[in-house]
Amino acid sequence: MTFVPRVTQLDAIDLDTEYENTIEGNLRKCLAHFSPDHQLHNYLPEIQCLIRFYVWKGTLWNRFSSVGQSLLGIHYGTNTRIGPIIVGAIYTLGPYVIERRNIFWKLTNSFVKEPRASNIASKIPWRKIEAIINFSKLLNLVVFLYEGKYPSLLARILKWRHYPDDEEAVREVSYEYMVREMLWNSFAELLTAVIPLVDISWLFRCWKRKERQRILDSNSCAECEEEIILPTKAECGHFFCHYCLSANTKKNLDYICPICSRKTT
């Protein structure tokens, strides 16, 4: 059996993304123990590039499969080293070049003698290129969902297909889990439509009024909700600490009692 379900191929990509995010998060937590002025923060792109290189070497270079693919028991169907080298260059050096692009532009301009040629990098439509790449990824995803091959744009360019490590193994997807996910998503959509129709402020006022009444029954200050010190009765009839009432009325001439919402002086 050489068929690999679409959900397995997409899950492998998600696992790879989560693995990268976990490594980056742990790296930033380690660097958080150093002061912001420490020189180690200046070499963060180099450290990330080195980590990505070792991850690439231990996965695609050695086993022709990424971390997520290894966990799901699939691999790329290739025996040549050209593909892994191309992927390694994009995966390892791509983010590093983007992080250090300003330095690379300066180095390029230092070797260019003509002033017009030195501004080539600034004239490149990077946003259009990024938009074209994102649109190509979306188009590739639509084609993948139809034919079940090449879940990523790079895999389609390199003609890399997924194959199971064990041809007899079959990944069973629980339909109970899928039904539960569908019900939860439907419930979330229902809440998204209903919650804006509910007067949350009215519910909050009712809860606050009950809470304030509880405070009033316990002989506590209507403002600080603590035991009253030098009880002072306001015009609305509720009791405050002398300092709480005098400080708030001096600060705000239109001070409103937290319990009855009446103007208090």
- Give φ, ψ of 74 to 5 degrees: -130, 165
**Inter-residue long-range contacts of 194-201, CB under 8 Å, 24+ positions, other chains counted:** none
The residues, ordered by sequence, that sit 6+ positions from 216 with a Cβ below 8 Å of its Cβ are: 222, 238, 259
Mean pLDDT within 245-262: 81
232-240 average pLDDT score: 81
> Quick check: 139 pLDDT over 90?
yes
**pLDDT over 70 (residue 151):** yes
To the question of pTM greater than 0.85 for the whole model, the response is no
Q: Which two tokens stand for residue 228?
A: 């009253």
